[in-house]
Amino acid sequence: MGKRYFGTDGIRGRVGEYPITAEFMLKLGWAVGRVLQTKGFNKIVIGKDTRISGYMFESALEAGLSAAGVNIALLGPMPTPGIAYLTRTLHACAGIVVSASHNPYYDNGIKFFSRNGQKLPDEIEEQIEELLERPLETVEPDVLGKAERIVDAAGRYIEFCKSTVPASTSLASLKIVVDCAHGATYHVAPSVFNEMGATVIPVGISPDGLNINQDCGSTKPALLCETVKKEGADLGIAFDGDGDRVIMIDHRGEVVDGDELMFIIARDRLRTGSRFNAVVGTLMTNLGLELALRALGLDLRRAKVGDRYVMERLLAEKLILGGENSGHIICLDRTSTGDGIISALQILAAMLQSDKSLHDLKAGMTKYPQVLINVSVTGGVDLQRPPIQEAVRAVESQLGDYGRVLLRPSGTEPVVRVMVEGADAGIVERHARELANVVRDTLSA
């Protein structure tokens, strides 16, 4: 069954445009409550990031859940992975996140966690959508849901984050710039690193409801790069608006992306005796990571783009580490979902144990030049047409074992993404443009 509202990461859109409206969120809260409440589990937690519309949607969801007879635990502004953690520890039947992640303030969305702190399966989302088509029916007044505010939510999550590295880990030797993107980590991340002894220079910690992700955070690291160099810091850490992604900056001001961070974590896990044979990436994961993992005796398993698909592959193959180059990294041996703070702590622990800088740790992996071109299309997309396939085979033949070609239609806009990767930047650029022209000419003929 095709889903009308749910995408790969919940429901998201522009505030005020259906379905991102207060009226829809009221009905959504009721439908979620009806589907997810079970005997012995009759509480749902709600957390949000710092965008202004979160107040409106938190209240609407609360009303809908109460109408369904479900109790509510309000967490306030909290990182998405913190909401996943508290869903488990508060023994709730589900967790609701009001966030649009790295999007601007005028967007918002809803994500859900099951009671084990993982994304809802497709069949549950389909049941919720089915109920959305029915009239809202309020339970009897004596069984309406009650709401409580969890005043120590941030403190609980901070302690959990610190517990994911050895208790002896001290960051006292490190000077760290932490960019919270004026988002959900603003009151959590600096405390985690401070309490572990680091000298912390926080930026992006003054949310006003409108400045989330604005010229800062993991998607716009220029401010962090500049601050790291200006302050003479050992490194910088940048989160996105809801805290499930992280990228880092080394002491030279160079970006260390999700692929490089996964390599560092994988190598450190092997050092400490973890037993696993593969890491899960996506179709866009850099070839350099695949080759670096191979040198460690590990395979790279590629899933479709999206952390949801990475998680599915991790669970299916009982693996512990996966992620995307955007910095959404999942350490399943530490927590149940992608977590920016916990991923950063794994890197810091590896630095301290190896007595190496972040710049030196990433040197074990060489990123390959990667060029991505979007080709606008109209109508149907048939990438199996002979001129396209012949062009792909020709490029692959020239790149050999040290290059990659990927063509894929976008799931969100009318374009075909043409990606070419290889050892020589100039050759990669030329092949990508030639292949994009073939795709454009063939599909428009």
Each residue of 125-170: pLDDT tens digit? 999 999 999 999 999 999 999 999 999 999 999 999 999 999 999 9
pLDDT for position 219: 94
- Return the SS3 of 413: coil
pLDDT per residue as tens digits for the range 235-289:
999 999 999 999 999 999 999 999 999 999 999 999 999 999 999 999 999 999 9
Share of the chain above pLDDT 90, in %: 92
Please name the residues in contact with 107: beta carbons below 8 A apart, sequence gap of 6 or more: 12, 13, 14, 15, 20, 51, 100
List of domains in the chain: 11-151 (3.40.120.10), 157-254 (3.40.120.10), 256-339+354-362 (3.40.120.10), 370-444 (3.30.310.50)
User: 285 CB contacts (<8 Å, ≥6 apart)?
Assistant: 259, 300, 302, 324, 325
Residue 98 near residue 110, CB atoms below 8 Å? yes
Q: How many CB atoms lie within 10 A of CB 412?
A: 7
Which amino acid would we find at residue 351?
M
Distance CA 124, CA 31 (A): 11
318 Rama sector, left if φ>0, alpha if ψ -120 to 50, beta otherwise: left
pLDDT computed for residue 412 by the predictor: 67
* Mean residue pLDDT across the chain: 95
pLDDT at 7: 85
Instruction: Identify the active-site residue in 66, 101, 114, 326.
Output: 101
**In 187-254, beta strands by DSSP E:** 199-203, 235-239, 246-249
Q: The pTM is what? A: 0.94
- Tell how far CA 332 is from the center of its chain: 14
- Cα-based distances in Å from 238 to 153, 280, 414: 22, 22, 31
What pLDDT was estimated at residue 1?
A: 54
Contact 83, 44 (CB under 8 A): no
| Catalytic-residue membership of 101 | yes
In the chain, which residues have pLDDT < 50?
none
